[in-house]
Amino acid sequence: MGLAGLGVTHAIVFVPDGRYYVSVYGSQVMALTVSADHRVTDLCRSEGLGANVVSASLAFNPADAYAIKQYVSAAVLCFDDRLGPPLSARDNGRILLLEPDVNGQCLSLSQTVISGLPTSNHDHSVSGLGFA
């Protein structure tokens, strides 16, 4: 299976279910199953995370054990160009939770964990998610 047209990636994480999760510039996260010879054998694309939303960072919480849940930082970047004022609406950064097999999707948004996080007008948003 080829990955032509994958797009610009922001983050890649490997999680206990054996898949790689990839955030793609735009509003999707992909789950890739990769064989021992490093070939992608299955590809799952999440539902869209919202209009003009960019997913910047991914994290898996080890405390979730076998319930694979993917946390995603997301925001609208270049806010004035895309949505215009008011400036107060720049606090659109959020942490989303994606889970497999929700709403008939292979990877679907199940909830907004945190909202109202600050972003810049251009290209800075919440990133670097991690669990200790």
User: How does residue 122 score in pLDDT terms, banded at 50, 70 and 90?
Assistant: low
- Higher per-residue pLDDT: 25 or 61: 61
Per-position b or e across 81-109, b if 16+ CB within 10 A of its CB: eeeeeeeeebebbbbbbbbbeeeeeebeb
117 pLDDT more than 70: yes
Span of 2-6, 17-21, 68-72 with lowest mean pLDDT: 2-6
Burial class (CB in 10 A: 0-12, 13-18, 19+), 52: middle
Task: Tell me the mean pLDDT in the region 81-89.
Answer: 63
DSSP 45-105: EPPP--TTEEEEEEEE-GGGTTS--EEEEEEE-SHHHHT---GGGG--EEEEEEETTBTTB
Using the 8-state DSSP alphabet, how is residue 128 labeled? -
Question: Sorting pLDDT into bands at 50, 70 and 90, what band is 46?
Answer: confident
Pairing between β-strand 70-76 and β-strand 93-99 as defined by DSSP bridges? antiparallel
Residue 98 has pLDDT above 80, yes or no: yes
Q: What mean pLDDT is reported for the chain? A: 80
User: Higher-confidence residue: 114 or 118?
Assistant: 114
- Which residue did the predictor score with more confidence, 21 or 76? 21
35 vs 84, residue with greater confidence: 35
* Cβ-based neighbours of 79, under 8 Å, separated by 6 or more: 89, 90, 92, 119, 121
